[in-house]
Amino acid sequence: MGNGLTYNLTLVKHHSTLAHKITLLALLDREITRRAFITANKFSIAKLQI
């Protein structure tokens, strides 16, 4: 029973890997952009405070 479940999960995981990678890359890209924007804003604020 456990092995069958593991196999099914592995199969599903294998089939959706590409879709997940694309989704993760898109999310990661958005997160990097957001963090870069926040960092840039922090630097701008820091410059204003000096």
pLDDT of residue 43: 80
pLDDT mean by block of 10 residues, the chain; 50 residues: 59 68 85 89 75
Please tell me the number of Cα atoms within 13 Å of 30 on its side-chain side.
5
What is the model's pTM? 0.46
pLDDT of residue 40: 86
Angle subtended at Cα 44 by Cα 40 and Cα 45, rounded to the nearest 5 degrees = 120
| Distance between CA atoms of residues 50 and 46, nearest Å | 6
pLDDT of residue 7: 59
pLDDT of residue 46: 75
| Distance between CA atoms of residues 29 and 21, nearest Å | 12
